Amino acid sequence: MDYTINVRNRLLNLDTPIVMGILNVTPDSFYANSRISTEAEVIERSRQILAEGGVIIDVGACSTRPGSTPASEEEETLRLRRALRILRQELPEAVVSVDTFRPEVASMAVKEFGIDIINDISGGSEEMFRTVSRLGVPYILTSVKSSMREMLLDFSEKVQQLRDLGQKDIILDPGYGFGKTLEENYEILKVQEHLQVMELPLLVGVSRKSMIFRMLETTPEESLNGTTVLNTIALMKGANILRVHDVKEAVECCKLVGLCFSSLA
């Protein structure tokens, strides 16, 4: 389906799938090679995402990997302010999302730095819904449900809540790796196309996750090939945005899948 989202009064077209590059300003992300700490690294990684064809830079300052202890709100805010200040100075026109489950952090990011999108991996809350609706920015709603049936019911209820609050741009994320067993992730991926009934754009983030390296008995560092395979399947089942560590490879994946489908049309 054809979708657009409003980003700072500009329409971002999702008719052709796009890539969101991950910028982790955390010391404890599950994928060690993605951790960024210095000003120079923030600039280098941001420029790399855009140079390799990424459209959105997704900044996260609080690790949500399984078994981790989340950073305090104060620490998350401090990390984000440092990174976002640099980003806005160096790349003022870049489309930036913030990965957070805290309404106050979301509010700070938008009000102080004009962040374009809030990416909430928590499954949503009334407070967050009210916050993003007031801020008027696109919102990524992640599901922590473990079956497609539960996911569709939950999405339907929460999308209606957001609509009632006046939220316009909503992106759905099936939440691979969140609240799901290894097997449940694959059961949902098998029928991911059912989410198109919601008539909303779909973001998929499987990059180097445990659903890949546990299944293949490898490590996050060895999971690029598995990531590309699952990204290809996700695109064929309706993904509009791929959230990834490896931007160049994901952009190539989008291009080749797009060529296959356009040649068959």
Could you report how far apart the first and last alpha carbons of the chain are, in Å? 14
Q: Confirm whether 243 is a catalytic residue.
A: yes
13: β partners:
4
Q: Confirm whether 79 is a catalytic residue.
A: no
Q: Count each helix (H run) and each strand (E run) in the chain, helices first.
A: 9, 10
Q: Kindly give the pairing relationship between strand 10-13 and strand 4-7.
A: antiparallel
Residue 234 Cα distances to 134, 197, 242, angstroms: 32, 16, 9
Long-range contacts (CB closer than 8 Å, 24 or more residues apart) made by 4-10: 5/117, 5/138, 5/169, 5/171, 5/201, 6/138, 6/168, 6/169, 7/95, 7/116, 7/117, 7/138, 8/114, 8/116
The one-letter amino acid code at 208 reads: R
Give the Cα separation of 174 and 195 in Å (integer).
9
From the list 45, 145, 180, 209, the catalytic residue is 209
From the list 45, 79, 102, 243, the catalytic residue is 243
Neighbours of 32 (CB within 10 A): 12
Instruction: Give residues with Cβ within 8 angstroms of 66, minimum separation 6.
Output: 30, 177, 210
Cβ atoms of 135 and 157 closer than 8 Å: no
Give the Cα separation of 106 and 64 in Å (integer).
16
Q: Tell me which residues are annotated as active site.
A: 209, 243
